[in-house]
Amino acid sequence: MKPILVILAAVALLLPGGASAKEQPAVSATISASTEAVKFAIVARLSEHGFHLESDSPFQMVFAKEMNNAGGVLAQAMIGNANCSMPKQVLSFTFAPQADAVLVVGLEQLDKATVLCARERINMDGKKNREAMASFLADIKSKAEAKAKKE
């Protein structure tokens, strides 16, 4: 009886809304530059790393990069459908202009194929992913603010 209770408790913790499904605060940075300067810095940095711009609006940019290396093959085999397309790393940035700055919120997701080859995005908000996004936004902040000071 005890093993069944342990299994049920573990399953309850892993279900959405369970005790372990703790909402993480968004990774963000307030940058003292124009939205256009921030967007320019993001595009310059991500295009160097093989990302392409999927969508762009005044308040959001979405970039994607197909994971066609060994990590992508492993991720697709473990969490997706290996017979469908490769997973993509997706980076979304939301912009909230303020008086003399812009608040930038970053989100990393994994876009994968499900069992029926439909696309699904999973938030990648583990500690390493959040630290990498915070580091990326800090770099964008320094580049955009340095450009703003030159102007």
Separation of alpha carbons 79 and 118, rounded Å: 13
Residue 85 maps to a domain: yes
Whether 107 is in a domain gets the answer yes
124-150 residue pLDDT tens: 889 999 999 999 999 999 999 998 777
- Tens digit of pLDDT for each residue in 55-93? 999 999 999 998 876 666 666 666 655 567 778 899 999
Within a domain: residue 35? yes
81, part of any domain: yes
In a domain, 108, yes or no: yes
* Structure tokens, 55: 């969508």
pLDDT in tens, 27-66: 999 999 999 999 999 999 999 999 999 999 999 999 999 8
Give the residue numbers spanning the domain of 30: 26-150
Domain containing 54 — which CATH number?
3.30.310.80
In the chain, DSSP assigns E strands to 27-31, 52-57, 60-66, 88-97, 102-113, 119-123
> Which residue in this structure is represented by tokens 């936004």?
137
- Per the rule left: phi > 0, alpha: psi between -120 and 50, beta: everything else, 17 is left
Calculate the alpha carbon distances from 65 to 33, 97, 100 in Å.
Answer: 27, 27, 32
Count structural domains, the chain.
1
The answer to whether residue 45 sits within a structural domain is yes
